[in-house]
Homo-oligomer: A and B are copies of this chain.
Amino acid sequence: MSQPSWFEIPAESDFSLANLPFGVISHAGLAQPHPAVAIGNHALDLSIFADAGGFSKLSEIQPHLNVFKQETLNGFAALGRPFHRKVREYLRSLFLEGTPYPDLLRDNQKLRRDSLIPLAKVSNRLPIQIGDYTDFYAGKNHAYNVGVLFRGPANALQPNYTNLPVAYHGRASSVVISGTPIRRPWGQILDADKNPTYQPCKRLDIELELGVLMCKSNIMGSPVPIARAEDHIFGYVLMNDWSARDIQAWEYVPLGPFNSKNFGTTISAWVVLADALEPFRTEGIKNDTQLQSYLQPLTSRDAFDINLEVDIRENQNVSTVTKTNAKNLLWSFPQMVAHHTVAGCPLNVGDLFGSGTISGTEPGSQGSLLEVTEGGKTPVKLSSGAERVFLADGDEITIRGWSEKDGTRVGFGSCTGQILEAWKTGYEQ
């Protein structure tokens, strides 16, 4: 995959020629945001590129060039996976050393200058308008670790856990793009005597997840068979499902988490298309349960080998508190699509699924501070010497993720958010 390009793409870049992730950018002089692909340290502005005839050698896209005029990727996503594949392959061909169309971009200094914007001069927008957001719970090690904390090892996993991909509906309106600050929430929290109080969250946590975006809808009442589930998957992002553990503990019975989750969920800016992850297929966590027919996988290689890391930055000190891998999931994304629709629920283009928190089994591989600190009992040491049980005001959390194989790297960039102190009175002053 790692073919030579006439364009400078640093070897360590997440945005290699094998990746070409899609996003939405704004930069100086733009009246409205434009779809783009990231390549090396640059973004290719697809609106400017299309206007200059950049797609003139790809006849199939001609009737659909308006998708590059939209402020989200919904229109492009809705074209479907065969289109994504053609567009991505075409763009890659233009960047090859021996591109078949040198005049289009390689030898066109003006278009290179106009359409290839340094990432440092670009700001990213939410790449897609999210319809509904669903958070799954497929990180078995996380579910087990948290279950042990709440119910002890014997009952850590509920009986349904290995039979169906447990999930709950999340809040779409508070999904934000990497870089958006997160205000420490207020809420109802039990005091030491188990009386409810109204105060700022004291157990503010992260959840390391992989997000998946949908590119195809189904009609209400018509489930998606697992054999067709891949057609619905547009691509993947990193995700931090911020969690207020003290609010969660009091509110969550009997209908699940609510305010402990809906104050913010951060996703990374660039959508790694489903095809770009194909070379990194691997096996997920083995499920020994005999599955119902609608959940039976087509392949055991339905997880992805993606390295994941979580950093905490406090002042200038950065500490990596988690190193794990996205293969630590019991359920695959096609299984999630099949399960989500089995009763007839309609999916729409732009819907977001979270994988659930991804944790490994070894120390240092857990995707939430709740696990890292064993329920808040064992502080984690940062590089500055400071300690954390949960997040402090000013802490900046960055999730990074990348796959690597045979010298080819496909990465997600970063998913970042900084904690702002709680309002003094509970309300904006």
Q: Please, how many angstroms separate the alpha-carbon atoms of A251 and B256 in the complex? A: 12
- Residues of B contacting A225 in the complex (Cβ-Cβ under 8 angstroms): 427
Would A262 and B343 count as touching, CB distance under 8 A?
A: yes
A258 within 8 A of B: yes
Q: In the complex, what distance in Å separates the CA atom of A132 from the CA atom of B219? A: 19
Instruction: Name the B residues within 8 Å of A420 (CB-CB).
Output: 221
Chain B residues whose C-beta falls within 8 Å of the C-beta of A223 in the assembled complex: 186, 426-428
Whether A428 lies near B221 (C-beta < 8 A) is yes
Whether a CB of chain B sits under 8 angstroms from the CB of A196 is yes
Given contacts A158-B254, A169-B169, A257-B255, whether A263 and B344 have CB atoms under 8 Å apart is yes
Copies of the polypeptide in the assembly: 2
Knowing A185-B343, A342-B187, the reply to whether A131 touches B173 (Cβ < 8 A) is yes
Q: Is the CB of A345 within 8 A of B251?
A: no
Interface of A is mostly: loop
User: Do A344 and B250 contact each other (CB < 8 Å), given the known contacts A174-B220, A225-B427?
Assistant: no
Residue of B nearest to A260 (CB): B343
In the bound assembly, the distance between CA atoms of A158 and B253 in angstroms comes to 7
- Give which listed residue, B164, B187, B222, B292, contacts A428 with CB less than 8 A: B222
Given A164-B251, A196-B163, A250-B160, check contact A262 B221 (CB 8 Å).
no
A250 to B163: give the CA distance in the assembly, Å.
10
Which of A31-39, A272-280, A346-354 is the contact stretch? A346-354
Of B131, B166, B168, B174, the residue contacting A345 (CB under 8 A) is B174
A294 B426 Cβ-Cβ under 8 A? yes
Known: A188-B163, A254-B158, A255-B167. A172 touches B131 (CB 8 A): yes
Which among B168, B198, B244 is the interface contact of A292 at CB below 8 angstroms? B198
10 A-B residue pairs with CB within 8 Å: A160-B188, A160-B253, A164-B188, A169-B170, A173-B347, A176-B220, A223-B427, A223-B428, A225-B427, A262-B340
